[in-house]
Amino acid sequence: MTKTAWVFPGQGSQTQGMLNDLLDQPLAKEKFAQAEEILGWSVIDICQNDPDKLSQTLYTQPCLYVVETILADLLKDKQKPNLVAGHSLGEYIALYVADVFEWSPGLRLVKRRAELMDSAAGGMMAALINFDREQLETAIANNSEVVLANDNSPTQVVISGTPTAVKAVISQVKTKRALPLKVSGAFHSHLMKPAANEFQELLTPIEFHRANVPVLSNIAPTPAVEADVLKQRLIEQMTGGVRWREIALALPENGIERVVEIGPGNVLTGLIKRTCSGLTLKNIRSMADFDG
């Protein structure tokens, strides 16, 4: 039996119309209705008719949670994963799929997370592509106002911090491209601490269950199933870095042979392909991808 990991993308993977072929699915209809009650707005309307709102953190994160969990639930009727992981927001979908929390509490968490992150200000994030890692590590070590927010692959990272600090680090590192990201704040950095503290007050009383499949977390890419461990890792996620490169390396170390990315786009399978070889990669972006 081929050991399979399911991985779930986060913000940046959203696409207009990403739910179109789910509209006739009874499960999806039920979830879209529940989501509108919880959110106070229509995921269908945003995804189909409002690309500007879809690109805003406030709406992006709940939309992705709803679409990816529906796809995962439909896929669970056909197969089951041996391991799950998600990139930033995607970790919430991974925890839901592992039965760590129920769907509605999960969406409420994502809603509040999106609100807090959308209201963050005063920070900057930038992606570095084909960079000198040694130079980057030195520059970050010498600047307390910038951190490695997303270690995505050997050739792509995201740094986060104050605008002055991020620009200073970029000037000190040899890189093919440095791209400022269109986000409201310095996500996955110490600058998110006030938002993280407020979010923790909401997260702490939420009931977490022991996972029915091991989860690789963003801040600790080692398999875990214990409810208290997974909750603590999620608490630390908003200010901690996303260690996706290490998650990718951990997949074959844990016997994984096949990786299925569930959600729009193919960002995570692309990052995994650039990080480790020998894995079979598949994308489930819509109902059309379920065969094969």
Catalytic residue flag (residue 87): no
Out of 138, 158, 180, pick the residue that ends a domain: 180
Distance separating alpha carbons of residues 150 and 141, to the nearest angstrom: 16
Mean pLDDT of 269-277: 96
Q: What is the pLDDT of residues 85-139, one digit of tens each?
A: 999 999 999 999 999 999 999 999 999 999 999 998 889 999 999 999 999 999 9
Region 271-278 average pLDDT: 95
Q: Which of 13, 87, 88, 189 is catalytic?
A: 88
**Using 50, 70 and 90 to split pLDDT, how confident is the model at 263?**
very high
| Same-domain status, 101 and 138 | no
110 and 138 together in one domain: no
Give the separation between CA 262 and CA 228, rounded to whole angstroms.
26
5-38: pLDDT as tens digits: 999 999 999 999 999 999 999 999 999 999 999 9
Query: Which domain, by its residues, includes 64?
Result: 4-119+189-289
pLDDT mean over 218-239 = 97
Tell me, what's the pLDDT at 1?
79
21 and 81 in a single domain? The answer is: yes
Give the mean pLDDT of 250-254: 97
Share of the chain above pLDDT 70, in %: 100
pLDDT of residue 291: 72
| Residue 188: active-site member | yes
Cα–Cα distance for residue pair 167/159, rounded to 1 Å: 10
Q: What is the CATH number of the domain that holds 208?
A: 3.40.366.10
The residue-averaged pLDDT of 44-50 equals 96
**Quick one: tokens of 196?**
């993280």
Say yes or no: 40 and 114 in one domain.
Answer: yes
Quick one: 75 and 147 in the same domain? Answer: no
CB < 8 Å & 24+ apart, contacts of 275-284: 275/153, 275/154, 275/245, 275/248, 275/249, 276/248, 276/249, 276/251, 276/252, 278/252, 279/251, 279/252, 280/2, 282/258, 284/71, 284/75, 284/260
Across 45-65, average pLDDT: 96
Average pLDDT, the chain: 96
State the catalytic residue, choosing from 13, 153, 188, 189: 188
Residues 154 and 169 occupy one common structural domain:
yes
Q: Is the pLDDT of residue 63 over 80?
A: yes
Residue 120 region by backbone torsions, left for phi larger than 0, else alpha for psi between -120 and 50, else beta: beta
- The answer on pLDDT for 292 being more than 60 is no
How many structural domains does the chain have? 2
Look-up of token digits 């911090």: 161
